[in-house]
Chains A and B, each alone.
Chain A
Amino acid sequence: MSASMSGNTASSSSSKKSLKAFSDDIWKNKTAKINAELFTLTYGSIVSQLCTDYERDFAKVNKQLYSMGYNIGVRLIEDFLARTALPRCDSLAKTSEVISKCAFKIFLNVTPQIGNWSSNKDSFSIFLDENPLSEFVELPMDAARELWYSNILCGVLKGALEMVQMDCDVYFASDVLKGDQTTELRVKLNKILKDEIPAGED
């Protein structure tokens, strides 16, 4: 719909800010922050509690983390939209850019790389070079096989995208915690839920 997202959100002096500068400004000047280690430790506490609760059935832990993420995502999107007031993205490429440069930046202060586009442009990968969730984490051997430690992120993306009427599959393709070379999150757009787009939008 809107021709240029960064243009529309640029300052009144009509200077076109890049999405990156726009997000940096929000992160630096407009967002309350908290110690990243407390975040890491709290998430660690949640995961280890789940592992105990589910008697180290890691498939169940993955599922539970995903569903917790989903619950967070459907709420977090409101914070994101209130904070950025970005308009709807007109393409998945735009969406991917907003996710990496804006969403990850203003919530977690990291900017993952986007890549691995499928030939029909309906899916892409997010490469997390830095992951505040799994800082200082080493997986025990039994967990390394099955557990997707940061699986909550998939749920968050799934829930948040669904709230802006994009039905996506989100899953981890690899994780450095498991000995892989990269941490790769895969996002696949199934369809845009046109019927649920609020009336009045172009």
Chain B
Amino acid sequence: MAIQTILVINKSGGLVYQRDFVATAPRLSSNEYLILAGTLQGIVAIASQITPKSLQIAGKGSAKGGVEPAGGAAAPLVPYVGTLGATTASGTPMGSFLGPDYFNDAFASCNGRGLKHVTTDQNSLFLYQTLTGIKFVAVSTQPTTNAMAVAVAENLLRKAYCLYADYVMKNPFYEPEMPIKCELFDQKLGVLVGQL
């Protein structure tokens, strides 16, 4: 499974970042990407509405809901998706998140009822939403419903969030909520995805 595209959607549903990692990725026009971002924003909201009441009551915290009840809530396994903070081959440290693998503990997703995962015959789309409402979206080149793949994607997106915290939030020239144009974020995200 390779990552084809990564998107970042701000809390009001605007697309602030889009990058393709595969040369063969089908090109959408920037307008289409904006529509995709807005649509995802809407679907996340609707998905949370349509979760059956019984599930909500029975499995608080375990109801994954949404379009695809992906993975299993009890899957504590955290796959390795490459380093974030450890020094790279060139010896330059990568940001403020240290350790060979930043996340070695399982984590609970707070996105209990919203959309997390969409699969078509060709692709899968993974979505990670932060408490502040930012959405990190990855599109893979192959379809998958495998719990492992979902866990890999979630870990990857969480690391993308770490890079966002370092190279976007700590950049004084970035205006919150605006499109991200940070060379270093591009570069580090490329390294992260390249490690997969």
Which residues of A are at the interface with B, using a C-beta cutoff of 8 A? 1-3, 8-12, 14, 29-32, 74-79, 81-83, 85, 87-88, 163-164, 196, 198-202
Contact = CB atoms under 8 A, between A and B. Distances in A.
A29 B100 CA distance: 10
Interface residues of B, number: 47
Contact of A8 (B85, B107, B132): B107
A202 B61 contact: yes
B45 interface: yes
Interface of B: 11, 44-45, 47-48, 56, 60-61, 66, 76-78, 85, 93, 95-99, 102-108, 110-115, 129-134, 158, 161-162, 164-166, 169-170, 176
A30 B95 CA distance: 11
B82 to A, nearest CB: 16
Contacts of A202: 56, 60-61, 110, 112-113
Contacts, number: 124
A174 B111 CA distance: 39
Given A82-B158, A202-B112, A75 B98 contact: no
Given A32-B98, A79-B169, A200-B114, A9 B107 contact: yes
Given A78-B130, A82-B164, A200 B47 contact: yes
Contacts of B111: 198, 200-201
B44 to A, nearest CB: 5
B192 to A, nearest CB: 13
Contacts of A163: 132
A contact face: mostly helix, strand, loop, or mixed: loop
A20 B131 CA distance: 21
A32 B131 contact: no
B170 A75 contact: yes
A8 B108 contact: yes
23 contacts: A1-B112, A9-B108, A10-B105, A12-B106, A29-B98, A30-B99, A31-B97, A32-B85, A32-B96, A32-B97, A75-B169, A75-B176, A79-B169, A81-B131, A81-B132, A82-B130, A83-B165, A199-B45, A200-B66, A200-B113, A201-B113, A202-B56, A202-B110
B97 A83 contact: yes
Contacts of A8: 107-108
B158 A201 contact: no
Contacts of B56: 202
A32 B85 CA distance: 9
Given A200-B48, A201-B112, A31 B164 contact: no
A121 B177 CA distance: 33
